[in-house]
Every structure is written in structure tokens, then in C-alpha cells.
Amino acid sequence: MASNLRRLALCAVFAVAAGAGPAFAEQAPRTMTMSGQGIVSTAPDEASFSAGVSTQGATASQALAANSQAMNAVFATLKKLGIPDKDIQTSNFSLSPRYQVCQPDVTCPQRVVGYEVSNNVDVTVEDMKKTGAVLDALVSSGSNQIGDIRFAIHDTKALLAQARTAAVKDAIDRAQTFARAAAVTLGPILSIQEGVGEVPRPVFAMMAKSLAAAPPPIAGGEQSVTANVTITWQIQ
């Protein structure tokens, strides 16, 4: 009787092992991974630049007084043009002595002959079409330091959404092409991962320290927003 029970137990173990065999033999599904990129370009809609005043005086107080008067005129002009306070930020302020300039090959003592004050602000013009008129008005109000104009896109959210859609479409088109060439069929999507995209960096255009009386023409060109995705499919 005991011998028969042992034989039945052994048969049950072998039956379980035989039934479990196919499950252990399953292979991971075959997959295809493809990357895609989407790029959307548009003209920038805002401009930024530095504007300020450099003044000189026999004493530090004289140079400061002259600079303050000129900068007050600059701020008044910006306010008159409708530039909000949030778009005006002091970027540089300096007070430095001016020294006697010696003739070449002539030795002379280093002597302070005056002082120079420089005060600059970064200005953002959200309507780029007004940039030329703003620059002209600043020069007319006494600004004698203007430069480093930069162009940018104010809000990139909508453009980034378009670029992401284009990136997914690009990845799908690539995967379908490879699938046809390899004689396989794309199955369900297993994962979608976004890569490192790129928002437009401000484009710099050098400007002279002083401008002519007429408003200068401003050309911002185009900027691009880029999105990257990686998609994995199961293939059959």
C-alpha cells in the first residue's frame, strides 16, 4: 500500500513538471525601438537689449548727478512707450576714476582727472515691431549706450506641443518603413519616452553704441522648437 502511494506521488510531481514546462520556455516578445524628431519654426515675437547712459564729471558727485538726470529721462521714455516695470532691469552700474593719459614714451605720474559713471538696464519689448521706434526714442532721450539686441519667442508651449506631435509621427513613419523592409508587423506600443528637446535660445545681434536718428530696421529671422521621442513596439 505504501509503495503504491509513493508511485502515485511521483507521477503527480512529473505531471506538474510537464505541465509547467511550456511556461518556463516562453520567450520575451520581440520589439522594435525607434526615435523621432519634430521641429517647428517661427519668427520671434519679442526683442531685448541693453540701454543706458555713460557720463563723466570732474568729481564723483558731478558724474553721478549727470548720470541720474540722464537715466531719469531714459526711464521716463520707457514709461511713456508703455514698457512695464517687469521688463526693465538694471544690468550694470559702475563708478570708476579716469586717469591722466600720458603721451607715448613719456613718463608721467598716475593722476585722477575725473570720474565716469555707467548705468545700464536690460529692456524687453514684447511687441518686436516696436523695437526700432523704442531704440530711436531712447537715443533721443539721451541714452548713449545701446547694444546686444536679442530675439526670442515669448511663449513656446503651443510650439512645443506641435513639435511633440511631429516627433511621434516621425517615429511612427520610421518604424513602419523599417517594419515593411524587415517583413514584420508592428504590434501594440509598449513605451513612449521623451528625449531632451530644445527651446530657442536668444539670438544676439550686435549693435553700435550709438544709433542714427531714424529708427533702425530690425530683422529677427526665425527660431525653432525641437522635440524628441523614443517609442518601442511589440512586433509580430
The Cα angle at residue 125 between residues 47 and 215, in degrees rounded to 5: 80
35 shares its domain with 88: no
96 shares its domain with 167: no
In which element (H, E) is residue 99 found? strand 88-99
Q: For the ranges 63-77, 163-177, 197-211, which has the lowest average pLDDT?
A: 197-211
Which residue range forms the structural domain that includes residue 175? 28-43+155-202+219-236
CATH of the domain at 183: 3.30.110.170
- Residue 135 in any domain: the answer is yes
What percentage of residues in the chain have a pLDDT greater than 70? 79
51 shares its domain with 146: yes
What CA–CA distance (Å, rounded) separates 111 from 120?
27
CATH of the domain at 101: 3.30.70.2970
- Residue 11 in any domain: the answer is no
- Residue 6 in any domain: the answer is no
Look at residue 185 and tell me whether its pLDDT is greater than 60: yes
In this structure, which amino acid lies at residue 121?
V
91 shares its domain with 79: yes
- Residue 214 in any domain: the answer is no
51 shares its domain with 116: yes
Which pLDDT score, from 0 to 100, does residue 217 have?
A: 58
pLDDT, tens digit, 9 for 90 and up, residues 211-235: 444 555 566 678 899 999 999 999 9
pLDDT, tens digit, 9 for 90 and up, residues 24-55: 446 778 999 999 999 999 989 899 999 999 99
- Residue 213 in any domain: the answer is no
54 shares its domain with 110: yes
DSSP 121-175: EEEEESSGGGHHHHHHHHHHTT--EEEEEEEE-S--HHHHHHHHHHHHHHHHHHH
50 shares its domain with 139: yes
- Residue 208 in any domain: the answer is no
167 shares its domain with 101: no
**Could you tell me if 60 and 95 are in contact, meaning their C-beta atoms sit under 8 angstroms apart?**
yes
Q: Which residues pair with 193 in a beta bridge?
A: 230
Give the chain's domain count. 2
Instruction: Note the helical H segments in the chain.
Output: 2-24, 60-80, 131-140, 157-182
97 shares its domain with 174: no
188 shares its domain with 232: yes
